[in-house]
Amino acid sequence: MNLITLLLRASRKILTLAAFIGLLSGVSTAGLLVTINATFNNSSQQVTLIWSFISLCLIKFLTNIISKYLLINLTEKAIVELRLTLSERILAAPLYHLEILGKHRLLATLTDDVLAISRIVYIIPTLCIDITIVASCLLYLFWLSSTIFFLVLLSLLLGIISYQQVAHKANSFFTLARQQEDKLFKHFQSLTEGTKELKLHKERRQIFLKQELRETAQLSRRNNVVGMTIFAVAASWGNSLFFVVVGLVIFALPTFQTIPTHILSGYALTILYLLSPLDYIMSAIPTFSKATVALKNIDALKLSLFARCYESNLMIWEQADNFCHSLEFVGITHTYYQESEDTAFTLGSIDLTVSGGEIVFIVGGNGSGKSTLLKLIAGLYIPESGKIYFNGKLVTAENQDWFRQHFSAVFSDFYLFDNFLNIGKNIAGEQIKNYLVKLKLDKKVKIKNGILSTTLLSQGQRKRLALLTAYLEDRPIYVFDEWAADQDPIFKNIFYTQILPELKKQGKTVIVVTHDDQYFYLSDRIVKFDYGKVENIYTCLIPSEKNLV
């Protein structure tokens, strides 16, 4: 995808109209040069020339404004659609692929790359007009003298070819700088998420700031400086070349042949006027080069996401689907490479059936694959082999998103939205308030028009709010990944002895990853996990039997 394609996708009609009006603006500018040159050499038609000058000024003024407005509006629309399309692709892509890409790369693309493209918003309109001005002026030069025109054209082509040679080299530096931006965003992520650790460890902080962060930032700066300097040298060479042409026309050509004064003055005036639009065009090329690099990066990411986008919206979620009779996993497996390890970790194969209204605890050591299993259960990971049946219906790529709509979850790395209006249900404010009182959050958080007053709370309090959000979603299956790990004994007891039984009473299926063995007896079954395999399944435990697991 290139910049023109991006604009054409936004609106082909507006782009065509803007280009035509820009053409009128350029032609009117060339007409002003013709009028000015004619005034110097023909004093007998002053009145006609004055009215022509006024009319052309008015046309240039109006067409310039209209063309710029259309193109600015079009470009902004294209950028908005680009952001939305990229966001949709990210949400449609499999979770595991997004985890491989990393948050830093996604953020760099959504911010830095899109910002690089947005910088051309105010360049494109003027650039289109300047290109039209250059073309119109060249036609005027050809009309004055075809011989001198070819001399000017030859020098212009020489400047373009030499500019392209150095521009290719400059683009390679911009590409290197963009690669460093991904690393820079990763360091920024470390800076924001690891602030506490950096404050506590002076040596680590110094190494991070003076070596890792500074080195990456300096490499990015150095590549950008080299690229911009190459463009600056090329632009200076192009300007100098035009002054050489003016010198040849004024001083050298008259010694070889007689050239009328009005032709010499017309050429000198036109070439000098061309310096301004040509200089703008050349100064805009570095910005376009950065935008082109950004577009290629965005396009590559979109293609990557699209290639791994398995789901579709062929099945529409309806409230009538809000039930769970059975959830069956037959031979499902999932393989991935663990961080800092060369060996692959394979989860499964897993054979497990969960009934509606059942509470299932998943237990096991750290790194045994419990959280990965939850993501497979909730449809966030797509199993590499095996089958999933929900209420007897096979889960496929076509109904994957429909399948996920049956789950409410609070993962260990959950994100807390402050808007209760986006859960797809109309919840009474009084009902939410009652839940806040039950969770002892009514003194900390207020609800106004479905918006939480704050989410700046402790981790345990944030988890309680996340639990409230999941509870209000009223889905048939609830998944909790060590929810009670950050809670004090009071709320831990409320979670296991009140909330889970209440969900079971409502007919909800509840799957909980936990280490709290004192509450194991509250489950219907316990699935013990060990390094990606189901080691054992215990049914109907009572308190005295909890030592078995």
Distance CA 70, CA 233 (A): 33
pLDDT score for 547: 44
Distance CA 409, CA 377 (A): 11
SS3 417: coil
Residue 533 CB neighbours (<10 A) = 15
pLDDT score for 311: 45
Q: What are 190's two structure tokens?
A: 């470390």
What are the chain's domains?
3-307 (1.20.1560.10), 319-420+467-548 (3.40.50.300)
349 cis-preceded (ω within 30 degrees of 0): yes
Question: What H or E segment, with its residue span, contains residue 481?
Answer: strand 477-481
**Amino acid letter, 67:** S
146 cis-preceded (ω within 30 degrees of 0): no
CA dihedral sign of residues 44, 47, 50, 55? negative
Residue with tokens 């054979």: 351
Query: Is 326 exposed, middle or buried (CB count within 10 Å of its CB: 0-12, 13-18, 19+)?
Result: middle
Q: How many helices (H) and strands (E) does the chain have?
A: 19, 12
pLDDT score for 6: 67
- The DSSP code sequence of 381-420 is S--SEEEEEETTEEP-STTHHHHHTTEEEE-TT----SBG
Q: What are 234's two structure tokens?
A: 């090329």
The whole-number mean pLDDT for each consecutive block of 10 residues of the chain, a chain of 549 residues, reads 64 75 76 75 71 84 81 76 80 81 82 78 73 79 78 76 73 82 82 76 82 87 86 75 71 72 75 77 78 79 60 50 86 74 75 92 87 90 91 88 90 80 62 79 79 80 87 90 87 90 92 91 90 79 45
pLDDT score for 314: 47
SS3 305: helix
Q: Which of 410, 521, 510 has its CA nearest to residue 460?
A: 410
Distance CA 383, CA 369 (A): 14
pLDDT score for 435: 79
